[in-house]
Structures are given as C-alpha cells and as structure tokens.
Amino acid sequence: MSRLVAFGVMALIWGVTWLPTKIAVQAVPPIFLATVRFLLSGILFLVIVRARRLPLRIQAFGRIVAASLLITTGCYSFVFWGIAHAPSGLSAIVNLSLMPIFLALIGFIYGQERLSARRVGAIGLGVVGLALLFSGRNGAAQDGVTAVLALSSVAVGTACYAWGSVISRPLTQTMPPLVLAFWETLIGAIGLMPVSLFVEGFDPGRFAALRDERVLVCLGVMVIGGSLIAFSIFLWLVRDWGAFRAGLYAFVSPVIAVTIGILYAHEPFGWAEASGMGIMLAAAALALAE
C-alpha cells in the first residue's frame, strides 16, 4: 500500500468515526467511552501482535510511557472535557487547526521538521478552511470564563497529542508500529481509568449502557477502524513521513465527517461549508506535495 493511499484510508476512517463517537457519547460518558475503546483496542492489538509473532519486548520504556500518556490519556482527557463545556464547532476549530501547528513547531524543536514557507502557507489555508467549515456549528456558548477554560483545555489536549506523536517517531525506527500501537494504546487506556473516575465519577449504569446495540456498533467502528487500522497507519506514516505530514489528516477527516453529517444527519450545508472543504483539501494537498 502506497503512503498516499494509506494516508487517504486513515483520513477516511477517522472522518467516519466522528458520527459513531457522537452517537455513543449520548449514552456513555466520553472519557469512560474512550477508556473502554482503548482497553478493547489494546487487547486486540495484543492478539494481532502475538499471531504475527512480533516481539513484545521494548526499549526506551520511559519514552513509550510518556508518549502513551500524551497521545491517549492527556489528549482524550483534556479534549473531551473541553468539548463538553464549549460549543462543538469552536472546539473542532481549536483542536484541528492547532494540530498541524503544534506538530510543526514541536517537530521543529526536536529537529524532525522544517518550517518552510509552503508548510506555513498550508497551515494558514487550513485554519481558514476550518473556520468556514464549522462557522455554522458553533452553538450557544456558556459563560465566558467556562468557555475560555474549555477551549484552553482543548488546546492543551491537542498539544499533548502532537507532542506524543513527535516523541513517538524515534520509537517507530526501533520497533514495529503494531507493537508500538499496542503499548501506547494499553498504557494510555490504563491512564484514562483514574481520570474517568475523577472527572465523571462511578456509576454502574454506564456498564449497562455498553450493552446498547448502537453503542456496541459504534465501539466496533472506533476500535477496529479508528484504532486497529487508522492508528497503526498513523504510526507507520509518522515513521516514514514525520509527524507533521501524517497529522495533515486534520485537514481531510473533517471534510469527510461533515459530509457524512450532511448526508445522514441532515446538517446544514451552504457556501461556507463548501468553500471550507475546498480550502482544507487544497491546504492538505499543498503540504503533502512538498
């Protein structure tokens, strides 16, 4: 599979998983849902790794733990809390527009990325496209202080994911991406457990909600598609392309997610959304062609 095809598959899957996630969090608290998702993903990653007879022993254990806590625990804790307390459209703009910015800056600090004029221009185009795409989906904001804290939390979570992706790149050079995906998924899920208990409390009813047929289907899409396939591809592309180019899914997946919302949830679509989609895809193409 060529890298561009793999990138397209990854962006498509992560775009498709938005709707199942939105459906599932209506029945299950979001951080608890993320915990269950990554625990199941970790178990399935282990099955695949053992079936392929890949070595589970690891080096640089401290770096793996740090990357896991950043990519999974930190990102999902901060981003999900922020999304719960801020308009979803603004949250999406903050999360997705900051992702390539943080990936470029942190990658530059670690000596992995170049801040070329093409990349800066692509980021600028992408941010404009995101603003247009989600301009009609901001919703009603809560009080100003809460909204600022919530959007700041989304920004921190985005930085966590970007930082974890950058420090994962040396790990992809020394171990199979599938093995790295297993460890980062499992350790990150374990880290989410106390966060879910602290933020969302303990309610036995949420386990019963996991038996809901819709939640099970949504979990299946997130686990098999979002984690087993897409996250494995992401780490492979981080190894071969670097975190910035791999992270350009942030300008492609939202186009797919909004398109699905238009087709299946009858969400609004007008000139702003159409313009935003075109600009974001152009931004991704500009950066990928470098």
- Span 153-179, mean pLDDT? 93
**What digits encode the pLDDT tens for the residues 28-54?**
888 999 999 999 999 999 999 999 999
Cα 72 from Cα 187, distance rounded (Å): 8
| Model confidence band, residue 89 (pLDDT cutoffs 50, 70, 90) | low
**Which CA distances in Å does 129 have to 102, 136, 250, 264, 273?**
18, 13, 11, 22, 8
What is the distance between the alpha carbons of residues 88 and 137, in angstroms, rounded to a whole number? 7
Mean pLDDT over each residue of the chain, to the nearest integer: 87
Q: Tell me what the mean pLDDT of segment 133-148 comes to.
A: 64
pLDDT in tens, 234-258: 999 999 999 999 999 998 988 888 8
Question: Count of domains in the chain?
Answer: 1
Does pLDDT of 203 surpass 70?
Answer: yes
> Which of 27-31, 72-76, 186-190 is the least confident region?
27-31
Q: What is the percentage of the chain residues whose pLDDT exceeds 90?
A: 46
Q: Per-residue pLDDT averaged across 195-220, rounded?
A: 88
pLDDT recorded at residue 1: 58
Instruction: Give the closest residue to 273 by CA, choosing from 250, 290, 249, 256.
Output: 256
pLDDT band (50, 70, 90) for residue 138 = low
Q: Which two tokens stand for residue 116?
A: 């070329």
- Here the tokens at position 108 are 């530059």
CA distance 257 to 255: 6
Q: Answer yes or no: are the C-beta atoms of 175 and 58 closer than 8 Å.
A: yes
Which residues constitute the domain of residue 232? Answer: 3-288
Q: What is the pTM of this model?
A: 0.88
Q: What integer is the mean pLDDT of 115-143?
A: 78
179 pLDDT higher than 90: yes
Q: What pLDDT sits at residue 237?
A: 95
* Residues whose CB is less than 8 angstroms from the CB of residue 271 and which lie 6 or more positions away in sequence, other chains included: none
Give the closest residue to 210 by CA, choosing from 34, 73, 88. Answer: 34
At residue 88, the pLDDT reads: 61
| Angle between helix 271-288 and 117-133 (nearest 10) | 160
